[in-house]
Amino acid sequence: MSILINKDTKAIVQGITGKAATFHTKQMLAYGTKIVAGVTPGKAGQTVEGVPVFNTVKDAVDATGATASVIYVPARFAADSIMEAIDAELDLVVCITEHIPVEDMVKVRRYMEGKKTRLVGPNCPGVLTSDEAKLGIIPGYIHRKGHVGVISRSGTLTYEATFQLTNAGIGQTTAIGIGGDPVKGTDFIDALQLFKDDPETLAVLMIGEIGGTAEEDAARWIKENMPNKPVAAFIAGRQAPPGKRMGHAGAIISGGKGTAADKIKALNAVGIEVADTVAHIGDTVVETLKRAGIYEKCHTC
Amino acid sequence: MNVHEYQSKAILKSFGVAVPNGSPAFSVDEAVENAKKMFDAGSKVVVVKAQIHAGGRGKAGGVKLAKSLDEVKTYAAELLGKILVTHQTGAEGKKVNRLLIEEGSNIKKEYYLSFVIDRSTARAVMMGSAEGGVEIEKVAAETPEKIFKEVIDPAVGLMPFQAQRMAYAIGFPAAAIRKASALMMKLYAAFVAKDCSLAEINPLVVTQEDDVIALDAKLNFDDSALFRHPEIEELRDETEEDPKERRAAKAGLSYVNLGGNVACMVNGAGLAMATVDIIKFYGGEPANFLDVGGDSTPEKIAEAFQIMLDGGQAKGIYVNIFGGINKCDLVSEGIIEAAKIISTDGKSLPVPVVVRLEGTNVERGRQILQDSPIANVIMAKTMESGAEEIVRLVKEGNQ
């Protein structure tokens, strides 16, 4: 078991003929992902890395029975691509694209209401289920099969944390990059709910950052809903000055809200240990697992 | 992106929002000229307002009421070129280069009104309060019950009943309800049409004549949407921005100046924030946040180094790279090429550079740096030891 994707998930790549998408299509295939089709308007009939290209998502889904999509479309067209995938009734849409206008994402979220599709991202590294499949740009070789779920707002920090876990012998079920934008498809609580329902996942690592109050909300949710799966955390941006956007569109302290100190306090208040520096994320997870008495079970690699 | 108050007001005026008559002035003469027209037209009071990208100008002495042309002249001369320190500028303050000369209003009561994007509902929210003219953060913290909200469905936009409900909730006088709700509708139209991330009117006032006027105006724009708003991009005032941040933006680097002397260059925004934090954790003063991205050319890395070193700010640089998709050996080659561009003899860098590499092709990347003839480049064994080392080297260098 795992969440969101596994070795049987059939996925399409929107914007497959772009340079980055082509590169990552090759990587996803090499990891074992079932990439069954690509979509680029006007390019139907071509193939990319052996994958057939269609003009529309509907054509691609009708021909292949795909249930998931990963989007590498440029920012100004990406919201439309997400809605096209939602319209085709896919179960999962992962949007890698950065710099989508916030107002476009507000419309996307409205369009999603009452529909079955789950969106991950935008502005995220994607989703990876260890040894099975990956959608996005997460490097596969750092992951090992195991029992810890990883949720993160940041790409490189996800890799860094996963690398530390693997080095400590702690394998992962699924890593999910929820993205650095203020308006997105999946937030911490949504991802936590998925891990809660996954019997393979025994513990969760949460990597947050400044901006918004999703980490505080997650802390409350964990206390009320997930008492049996231990959580460890890291929060980036302790030194971020108020009012400054730190790289990610959503990483900004505004109106006194969204500081790292508030997030760490909220997490600590419900018994979640937060790593003091980025270099100690792996150690913090190990300590958390040991305290919960599941370290041996989670020591899988 | 931020713009000045007078620019925000011009935009709002074009959407039919009532704002005081006024025009910008870049010199004392221009200020007097603008004010003369207002006095001639019957104004009793003219307001001289410093234009900087920060709130709290009134309290800091940046807003003056003038009853004569002489007073306008005195105030304009005093404000232009002055460094204004407000609770939003930081201790170093901001230099006033522009003024807004505006007709005075007969204020009866002040209110607060704004539109923002709410992350949790993924919708625009209108916020209003009868506590106008004061810091809204303070109101939110101390008396949150005095702030009213209307969540807006993007499919239909702000509806008139919501605007009226807000006008009643925050206590507009009966004679001003329709004007207030009409202003809210127009402000929302501007917020959406211009891809604002914030539209804030503080204070929104009712005058003795029961007119509803945006006495102040602050618009922030979504950087990701500027591609469809060249007219907003044109309003950018580069003198308001940190010169290093400006230069970095032009080079396609994500950079924030933090004022210290231990610089860092990192791939990925999250890891970059975390690297700033770990420098501070080990007792260093972070100079900057810098996300160099995944596909960096030697030229881009060289530009990043030059920005960090410019003005003698960086006394040491910590390069923290996790090669995921991008490869460590290419980053190493980039650093060496960058060093050649920066250094005069191609063999040395002006400050110590500690490099921590991990991930794809890490062995080759380390080897390239070890074999390089460039002095002052030190390989870190771990991220932790690298952070400790750069902080120590900078402290030693300062002694």
- Chain A interface includes B193 (CB < 8 A): no
Q: What mean pLDDT is predicted for residues B202-229?
A: 96
H-run or E-run covering B23: strand B22-25
3-state secondary structure of B294: coil
Q: Can you say how many angstroms the Cα of residue A123 is from the centroid of all Cα atoms in its chain?
A: 10
- Give the SS3 label for residue B93: coil
A279 and B271 in contact by Cβ < 8 A?
no
Residue B110 has pLDDT above 80, yes or no: yes
CA of A238 vs chain B CAs: smallest distance (Å): 6
Report how far residue A245's alpha carbon sits from residue B395's, in angstroms, rounded to the nearest whole number.
Answer: 29
Reported as a pLDDT band with limits 50, 70 and 90, residue B209 is very high
Taking Cα atoms as reference points, which of B236, B201, B72 lies closest to residue B127?
A: B201
Instruction: Give the pLDDT confidence score for residue B77 in this predicted structure.
Output: 96
Structure tokens at A233: 């955390």
Q: Which of A62-71, B184-193, B377-386 has the lowest mean pLDDT?
A: B377-386
**Average confidence (pLDDT) over B217-240:** 95
Mean per-residue pLDDT, A155-169:
95
Give mean pLDDT, residues B184-203.
Answer: 97
Asked if A199 has any chain B CB less than 8 Å from its own CB, the reply is no
Taking an 8 Å cut-off on Cβ atoms, the answer to whether B256 and A152 are in contact is no
Of B58-62, B76-80, B364-368, give the range with the top mean pLDDT.
B76-80
Say yes or no for a CB contact (<8 Å) between A277 and B154: no
* Pair B331, B299: CB distance under 8 Å: no
Residue whose C-alpha is closest to residue B223's, from A64, A278, A284, A248: A248
Confidence of residue B344 (pLDDT cuts 50, 70, 90): confident
Question: Does position A208 have pLDDT exceeding 80, yes or no?
Answer: yes
ipTM: 0.94
- In sequence order, the β-bridge partners of residue A71 are A14, A95
Residues in B closer than 8 angstroms to A110, CB to CB, are 122-123, 153-155
Q: Which of B124, B258, B275 sits opposite A106 (nearest CB)?
A: B124
Contact (CB, 8 A) for B142 and B214: no
Question: Which residues, 6 or more positions from A260, have their beta carbon under 8 angstroms from its beta carbon?
Answer: A209, A210, A235, A236, A237, A238, A240, B277
Q: Give residue A274's pLDDT.
A: 98
Cα–Cα distances (Å) from B259 to A80, B246, B263, B311, B388, in that order, read: 41, 15, 10, 12, 19
Contact A240 B276 (CB under 8 A): yes
Whether A229 and A194 have beta carbons less than 8 Å apart is answered as: no
Q: Answer yes or no: are the C-beta atoms of A155 and B270 closer than 8 Å.
A: yes
pLDDT tens-place string over residues A126-138 = 999 999 999 999 9
Where residue B329 falls among pLDDT bands split at 50, 70, 90?
confident
- Whose tokens are 């090669």? That residue is B323
Q: Could you tell me if B47 and B57 are in contact, meaning their C-beta atoms sit under 8 angstroms apart?
A: no
Distance CA(B186)–CA(B210), nearest Å, equals: 18
Residue B227: which of A27, A76, A250 has the nearest Cβ? A76
What is the strand order of the sheet B262-266 is part of?
Answer: B254-257, B288-291, B262-266, B316-323, B348-359, B375-379
Measured between beta carbons, the chain B residues lying within 8 angstroms of A278 are 271, 274-275, 277-278, 383
B325 pLDDT band, cuts 50/70/90, is: low
Q: What is the mean pLDDT of residues A21-26?
A: 95
Q: Which residues of A touch B245 (CB under 8 A)?
A: none
Q: Which of A25, A77, A95, A159 has the highest number of chain B CBs within 10 A, making it the mutation to test binding with B?
A: A159
Q: Report the residue from A103, A109, A251 with minimal CB separation from B225.
A: A103
* Whole-number pLDDT of residue B399: 66
Tokens matching residue A228: 């049996």
Q: What is the mean pLDDT of residues A138-153?
A: 96
Least CA distance to A189: which residue of chain B? B120
List, in order, residues 6 or more apart from A267 with CB less than 8 Å away.
Answer: A206, A215, A219, A233, A235, A274
Backbone angles phi, psi at A152, to 5 degrees: -150, 145
| Reported confidence tier of residue A119, pLDDT bands at 50, 70, 90 | very high
Residue B132 amino acid letter: G
Radius of gyration of chain A (CA): 19
Contact B272 A247 (CB under 8 A): yes
Average pLDDT over residues B327-355: 83
| Kind and range of the H or E run holding B152 | strand B147-152
**Over 80: is that where the pLDDT of B295 sits?**
no
Average confidence score pLDDT of chain B: 92
The number of helix segments (H) and strand segments (E) in chain B equals 13, 18
Q: What is the pLDDT of residues A174-187, one digit of tens each?
A: 999 999 999 999 99
**Residue B102 to residues B28, B47, B106, B236: CA-CA distances in angstroms?**
14, 5, 13, 22
Kindly state whether B120 is in contact with chain A, defined as any CB-CB distance less than 8 angstroms: yes
Task: Say how far apart CA B133 and CA B215 lie, in whole Å.
Answer: 10
Q: Please report residues of A whose CB lies closer than 8 A to that of B289.
A: 240, 246-247
pLDDT of residue B221: 97
Please choose, from the candidates B8, B100, B112, B7, the residue with its C-alpha nearest in 3D space to the C-alpha of residue B49.
Answer: B100
CA pair distance B244, A125, nearest whole angstrom: 29
For B119-168, the pLDDT digits (tens) are 999 999 999 999 998 888 888 888 999 999 999 999 999 999 999 999 99
Paired residues of A148 in beta bridges: A172, A203
Q: Which residues pair with B262 in a beta bridge?
A: B286, B316
Catalytic residue among A99, A147, A248, A280: A248
Q: How many CB atoms lie within 10 A of CB B159?
A: 14
Is residue B33 within 8 angstroms of chain A, CB to CB? no
Nearest to B267 among A27, A156, A248 (CB): A156
Number of A to B CB contacts under 8 A, please give it: 174
Q: Does B382 touch chain A (CB under 8 A)?
A: yes
Contacts of B258 in chain A (CB under 8 A): 239, 241
Residue B75 at interface with chain A, using a CB cutoff of 8 Å: no
CB contact under 8 A, A101 and B225: yes
Measured between beta carbons, the chain B residues lying within 8 angstroms of A277 are 274, 277-278, 281, 384, 387
Contacts of B228 in chain A (CB under 8 A): 76, 101
- Residue A248 falls in the annotated catalytic set: yes
Lowest mean pLDDT of B91-95, B205-209, B254-258, B347-351, name the range. B347-351
Q: Does B119 lie at the interface with A, CB-CB under 8 angstroms?
A: yes
Strand partners, B374: none
Residue (of A15, A165, A161, A172) closest to A94 by Cα position: A15
Greatest alpha-carbon pair distance for chain B in Å reads 80
CA dihedral A172, A200, A118, B188 (to 10 degrees): -70
Query: What is the arithmetic mean of pLDDT over B244-263?
Result: 93
- The pLDDT of residue A2 is 81
Q: Which phi and psi (to 5°) does residue A99 adopt?
A: 75, 30
The answer for A 28-57 residues in CB contact with B (under 8 A) is none
- Confidence at residue B335, expressed as pLDDT on a 0 to 100 scale: 84
Strand-strand pairing, A172-177 and A145-152? parallel
Residue A23 and residue B77: Cα distance in Å, rounded? 60
CA separation, residue A10 to residues A4, A19, A72, A187 (Å): 12, 22, 17, 24
Tell me if A238 and B280 make a contact (CB, 8 A cut-off).
Answer: yes
Radius of gyration over alpha carbons of chain B, in Å?
26
A131 Ramachandran zone, left/alpha/beta (phi>0; psi -120 to 50): left
Judged against a pLDDT cut of 70, whether residue B283 lies above it is answered with yes
The answer, yes or no, to whether residue B55 has pLDDT greater than 70, is yes
Residue A155 forms contact with B (CB below 8 Å):
yes
pLDDT of B87: 83
Please indicate if any CB of chain B lies within 8 Å of the CB of A241.
Answer: yes
Mean pLDDT of all residues in B92-107: 94
Question: A83 to chain B, minimum CA–CA distance in Å?
Answer: 14
Separation between Cα atoms, residue B131 and residue A241, nearest integer Å: 27
Q: Does A106 touch chain B (CB under 8 A)?
A: yes
> In angstroms, what separates the C-alpha of B160 from chain A's closest C-alpha?
20
Give the containing element (helix H, strand E) for B290: strand B288-291
- Chain A environment of B272 (Cβ under 8 Å): 246-247
Q: State whether residue B164 is helix, strand or coil.
A: helix
What secondary structure does DSSP assign to chain A, as a single string?
--SS--TT-EEEEETTTSHHHHHHHHHHHHTT-EEEEEE-TT-TT-EETTEEEESSHHHHHHHH---EEEE---HHHHHHHHHHHHHTT-SEEEE------HHHHHHHHHHHTTS--EEE-SSS-EEEETTTEEEES--GGG--EEEEEEEES-HHHHHHHHHHHHHTTB-EEEEEE--S-SS-S--HHHHHHHHHT-TT--EEEEEEESSSSHHHHHHHHHHHH-TTS-EEEEEE-TTPPTT---SSTT---BTTBS-HHHHHHHHHHTT-EE-SSGGGHHHHHHHHHHHTT-HHHHB--
Q: Would the pLDDT of A293 be above 80?
A: yes
Q: What is the mean pLDDT of residues A155-166?
A: 95
Chain A residue with CA closest to B284: the answer is: A239
Q: How much is the pLDDT for B52? A: 94
pLDDT in tens, B266-276: 999 999 999 99
Residue B113 reports pLDDT greater than 80? yes
Phi then psi for B98, rounded to 5 degrees? -135, 150
With a cut of 70, say whether residue B294 has pLDDT above it. no
Residue-level pLDDT at A1 = 64
Range in A9-18, A73-82, B150-159, B286-295 with the lowest mean pLDDT: B286-295
A39/A59 Cα distance (integer angstroms): 9
Distance CA B84, CA B395 (A): 33
The answer to whether the Cβ–Cβ distance between A153 and B270 falls below 8 Å is yes
Question: What is the pLDDT, as a whole number, of residue B293?
Answer: 80
**pLDDT given at position B372:** 82
